Structure 1
Amino acid sequence: MRSHAGTHREPSTSRAGTGTCTLDPSTGHKKWTLEKDLSTPHTTQIVVAGGLVFVGRTAPPDGIVHAFDADDGSERWSTSTWSGRSEATLGDGLVTAYGFVYVSTADGVVALDAATGAAPSPA
Structure 2
Amino acid sequence: MESLEIYAEEGRITKEFAFFASQFDEKTLTELRETLRKRHKINGVKFSRLLKTPLMEDLLKSMGEIFSTHPNHNGFYAIRGALISAAINQPEEGWTAIDIMKAFPTEGISIDTELATKMMQNSQF
* TM-score in same-fold range (> 0.5): no
Greater relative contact order, per chain length (Cα 8 Å cut-off, separation 6+): 2
Larger proportion of helix: 2
TM range (shorter): under 0.3
Larger proportion of strand: 1
Q: TM-score scaled to structure 1, two decimals?
A: 0.25
